[in-house]
Structure 1
Amino acid sequence: MDIKCTDRELFLFKKIATASQELGVASYLIGGFVRDKIIGRPTKDADIVCLGDGIELAHAVANRFNPVPTVAFFKTFGTAQIKLSDLEVEFVGARKESYSRDSRKPEVAPGSLEDDQNRRDFTINALAISLNRENYGTLIDPFNGLGDIEAKIIQTPLAPDQTFSDDPLRMMRAIRFATQLNFTIAEATFTSICNNAQRIKIVSQERITDELNKIMLSPKPSLGWDLLYKSGLLQIIFPQMVDLQGAEYIDGMGHKDNFYHTLQVIDNVAEHSNDLWLRWAALLHDIGKPPTKRFEEGHGWTFHGHEVVGGRMVPKIFSRLKLPMNEKMRFVQKLVELHLRPISLTKENITDSAIRRLLFDAGEDIEALMILCKADITSKNKYKVRRFLQNYELVAARLEQVEESDRIRNWQPPITGEIIMQTFGLTPGKQVGIIKDAIREAILDGVIANNYEAAHAYMVEQAAALNLKPLQ
């Protein structure tokens, strides 16, 4: 098998081979690095398994470099890692594993290469290349992983029920690999995922969410979310998403399937942005539709206020999924709350005031919001899609024009609360807020110019209505 490695990688593997020979241990390049090299996928991680002490081998390899790189090692797990400029190499002794029913943490014992390959999650990850003198460079493929790569199939080396019961996270990994690589999960393997879905409950939320994020960053995230739904995993790990599924009809009037609409929106966003959090905003943009769904006689289905309800749901969802409760969450929440605003601006006779308000509310996230809004157009009617996109281009032009003239993005009114308090001898309180809000609204509505002089005069006028006079 011809696997194309760089000169730097070949240089490293020769050093590992020489160090292994001197220690009298057999060593093998194994797992993801081998898989990705065969596929032609970029990789910066290499795993070395040896029939001996992985930590000792790591130190022996490090000592063959000048300067000697740091060896990070973990005695409890028997692993060690060397970070080079373009590659991270992990060393571990070959092992066999056994699991208890209520934990995905295995009991580990030293083992053979065969034992180590048996414990791998999928055939495509069980490939090994010998670094030993007698058969250096030989591909060792006991489960026909190479054939599965050529056929683009994900399946387990051993019986799938055993593989997924031992470590249920492998069910998420199967779907993640299928999504990243655009592979198909073998029928028996997918049936086993469906049968073992409840086992995912013993896996920590952090590990589950890590897999979700990798699915989200895939070229076509919808593949993974659809598999999660069809396997029954999604109903357990993220039931609010499942609530979007299905279309209901009354008196012949129905609504679109908001689950599959959402998946299309994520894919549309993925075509234009690699931003993980913009993709999460796409996933959650309609999450408020199920609790706001109503049927109105003579009118049909409505989802009034779903953007507001969805915005309120975002922090709870982020907390449950152990996603970051910081500016990333606030970014997603903002886009969920604002995702209908640009649509209203596609109508005729939209005022500059409405444009200013959107610029003010979206701030630096206006471009991300517009990507999301364009992605939200998923009609099968090509004429309708083209018309909506043309309308959005007009909105984008208006946004640019108003921003150029008013500089309203990330804008703060020229009169601050401190100025108001100093001018009228006030302490923080309701009156200060009333005047400050009035100035902001007047500028956004175009009643006064966006400068200090106009704002100061308007401040005095508004204060007079509250029976306030400037200090002398």
Structure 2
Amino acid sequence: MSDPALPPLQIADVQRTVAGELERIGPVIDELGARFADAGHELALVGGPVRDAMLGRLQNDLDFTTSARPEVTEKLVRGWADAIWDLGRAFGTIGCRKGPWQVEITTYRSETYDPSSRKPDVDYGDNLAGDLGRRDFTVNAMAMSLPGRTFEDPFGGVVDLAARVLRTPGTPESSFSDDPLRMMRAARFAAQLGFTVAPEVVAAMTDMAERITIVSAERVRDELVKLVEAPWPRRGLTLLVETGLAAYVLPELPALALERDEHHRHKDVYQHTLTVLEQSIELEDRLDGGGPDFVSRFAALMHDVGKPKTRRFVDDGTVTFHHHDVVGAKLTRKRMQALRFSNDTIDAVAKLVELHLRFHGYGTGEWTDSAVRRYVRDAGDQLTRLHVLTRADCTTRNKRKAERLRRTYDDLEARIARLSEQEELASIRPDLDGTQIMEILDLPPGPVVGEAYRFLLELRMEEGPQPYDAARDALLTWWAARSAE
């Protein structure tokens, strides 16, 4: 998925797109606007929904800003909304659902960071212009006052949107001082929307990159996930690296730019990694849920992070990266723990990183059925993602070599499919269960039964399914040898 070169938007096209979107969401915004106006309060559709309406990105999440305080907002939506929640009350936000629409209504506000704080201080504002002025980018600082549907654009957001450029309403230094996470959001929006980031914004991101360290790991993680799941993550990741932000939030990525890939000397491992990420995205239709798939993408991004620590120069001038898969899995686990990912997500990504080289021992198909079974067993529930990562990890420009690797992996997948059909590989178990083991060996439950179970599992991996009598005889032979030790 190549970096986008999107043409500028035409204002007339934007206006037509907005008109169509307003017809779709009209029943919600007009009713809600009337309720607030009747109570003497201002209400405006704001931020992302206004921007996305202009881009034709239809959505059911609607954000509003209002002069009403949260307790008043809650009263005004009660009886109108199908459900109400107030988890964001501390930040001035009341959430609710109306039919298919998810609604968030936030009191006019300004928020700033104390230099030593990880959380923003929230102060209520008293007018729409002030609220828009504290937003991250001009394309998110547009609003539509309700119920009259008056378009508000004090910072030229529609012009920047048409030009597909990200600028800040005020100086970027002031914006990023207020909330350093906005630097991450610049990269995320570049990846999501295909926008260019204005030079002065890039300069401020570069100068202020270290400021990201005061933001909580959870907030950084959430932005990183959105960036990686975006249509053009390479654009956002490149911006993080070039501005120095990646050195603080994902330092393993810029470290790759220092390494040369031993198989592809025309590019460094950093560029190879970004290409693998893009190729993994192109293969997401192979996954059960399709895409975007964070685990698959992040594994592609991290698969070679062990190379800097394992680089060795050989006397003949070649470079090796022995065991970078194992080292990379450990580094991946450590980084994801620091970013507060769930254990399940960490385990999935780390497993893929650790196994990403396993296929290369397959040669031209020399693996035994036993080796194929072990490949499936070790991959476990990540087998399909491992197929994607392994295929994506071929970035050679040698078409003959690339075709050979593709055919070889086709053969491996076909063998897995055949064995799976014959042997139920996804749930490989010994031919005898624990109860049968205890009956045959006359044993009570305990560690020895576990030993016998593992012996039979290895036998199953090596020789495939066995009839009961053969499995029993093998177990008895093993037991006799163990007892004689």
Q: Using structure 2 for the length normalisation, give the TM-score.
A: 0.87
Amino acid at match of 2:269: N
How has the CA–CA distance of structure 1 residues 74 and 55 changed in structure 2, closer, same or farther, with 3 Å as cutoff? farther
Aligned-residue offset at 1:298? 2.0
Aligned-residue offset at 1:43? 2.1
Distance in 2, matches of 1:276 and 1:344, equals: 27
Distance in 1, matches of 2:166 and 2:474, equals: 68
Residue 307 of structure 1 aligns with which residue?
Answer: 325
1:191 maps to 2:203 = yes
Amino acid at match of 1:224: G
Distance in 2, matches of 1:353 and 1:439, equals: 14
Residue 293 of structure 1 aligns with which residue?
Answer: 311
Aligned-partner SS, 2:65:
strand
Residue 330 of structure 1 aligns with which residue?
Answer: 347
1:372 maps to 2:389 = yes
Residue 264 of structure 1 aligns with which residue?
Answer: 275
Name the count of aligned residue pairs.
460
Aligned-partner SS, 1:298:
coil
Residue 29 of structure 1 aligns with which residue?
Answer: 45
Q: CA RMSD in A?
A: 2.6
How has the CA–CA distance of structure 1 residues 77 and 287 changed in structure 2, closer, same or farther, with 3 Å as cutoff? closer
Stretch deviating more after TM superposition (459-468 or 275-284): 459-468
How has the CA–CA distance of structure 1 residues 290 and 422 changed in structure 2, closer, same or farther, with 3 Å as cutoff? farther
Task: Give 1:233's match in structure 2, choosing from 245, 248, 261.
Answer: 245
Aligned-residue offset at 1:396? 1.3
Stretch deviating more after TM superposition (274-283 or 97-106): 97-106
Amino acid at match of 2:156: N
Matches within 5 A, 1:141-160: 141-160=153-172
Amino acid at match of 2:297: R
Distance in 2, matches of 1:187 and 1:347, equals: 50
Residue 85 of structure 1 aligns with which residue?
Answer: 99
1:214 maps to 2:230 = no
Aligned-partner SS, 1:48:
strand
Stretch deviating more after TM superposition (106-115 or 173-182): 106-115
1:10 maps to 2:26 = yes
Aligned-residue offset at 1:152? 0.9
Distance in 2, matches of 1:205 and 1:411, equals: 39
Residue 247 of structure 1 aligns with which residue?
Answer: 259
Amino acid at match of 2:211: R
Q: Is the 8 A contact 2:365 2:408 kept in 1?
A: no
1:115 maps to 2:130 = yes
How has the CA–CA distance of structure 1 residues 258 and 74 changed in structure 2, closer, same or farther, with 3 Å as cutoff? closer
Amino acid at match of 1:308: V
How has the CA–CA distance of structure 1 residues 403 and 207 changed in structure 2, closer, same or farther, with 3 Å as cutoff? same
Q: Is the 8 A contact 1:169 1:200 kept in 2?
A: yes
Matches within 5 A, 1:420-431: 420-426=437-443
Identity, in percent, stands at: 35
Which blocks of at least 5 consecutive residues in structure 2 are unaligned?
A: 1-14, 285-290
Deviation sequence 1:238-285 (CA, Å, 0-9, x none):
2223322223599xx968522221121122112222221122221222
How has the CA–CA distance of structure 1 residues 428 and 78 changed in structure 2, closer, same or farther, with 3 Å as cutoff? same
Aligned-residue offset at 1:42? 2.8
Q: Which has the higher contact order (CA 8 A, sep 6+)?
A: 2
Distance in 2, matches of 1:465 and 1:382, equals: 54
Distance in 2, matches of 1:177 and 1:213, equals: 12
Q: Is the 8 A contact 2:112 2:179 kept in 1?
A: no
Distance in 1, matches of 2:31 and 2:347, equals: 49
Distance in 2, matches of 1:431 and 1:93, equals: 65
How has the CA–CA distance of structure 1 residues 452 and 146 changed in structure 2, closer, same or farther, with 3 Å as cutoff? farther
Residue 108 of structure 2 aligns with which residue?
Answer: 94
Residue 124 of structure 1 aligns with which residue?
Answer: 139
Aligned-partner SS, 2:62:
strand
Distance in 1, matches of 2:111 and 2:453, equals: 66
How has the CA–CA distance of structure 1 residues 442 and 204 changed in structure 2, closer, same or farther, with 3 Å as cutoff? same
1:360 maps to 2:371 = no
How has the CA–CA distance of structure 1 residues 297 and 254 changed in structure 2, closer, same or farther, with 3 Å as cutoff? farther
Task: Give 1:175's match in structure 2, choosing from 183, 187, 204.
Answer: 187
Deviation sequence 1:326-346 (CA, Å, 0-9, x none):
x32222222222211222224
1:56 maps to 2:67 = no
Q: Using structure 1 for the length normalisation, give the TM-score.
A: 0.89
Distance in 2, matches of 1:130 and 1:371, equals: 47
Which blocks of at least 5 consecutive residues in structure 1 are unaligned?
A: none
Residue 9 of structure 2 aligns with which residue?
Answer: none
Q: Is the 8 A contact 2:261 2:269 kept in 1?
A: no
Q: Is the 8 A contact 1:272 1:371 kept in 2?
A: yes
Q: Is the 8 A contact 1:52 1:93 kept in 2?
A: yes
Aligned-residue offset at 1:429? 7.2
How has the CA–CA distance of structure 1 residues 337 and 76 changed in structure 2, closer, same or farther, with 3 Å as cutoff? closer
Stretch deviating more after TM superposition (291-300 or 122-131): 291-300
Residue 162 of structure 1 aligns with which residue?
Answer: 174
Distance in 2, matches of 1:322 and 1:99, equals: 22
Amino acid at match of 1:161: E
Residue 316 of structure 1 aligns with which residue?
Answer: 334
Aligned-residue offset at 1:381? 2.5
Residue 279 of structure 1 aligns with which residue?
Answer: 297
How has the CA–CA distance of structure 1 residues 346 and 38 changed in structure 2, closer, same or farther, with 3 Å as cutoff? farther
Aligned-partner SS, 2:212:
helix
Residue 360 of structure 2 aligns with which residue?
Answer: 343
Deviation sequence 1:49-99 (CA, Å, 0-9, x none):
22343542453244346xx64363765443322212311222233234555
Aligned-residue offset at 1:189? 0.5
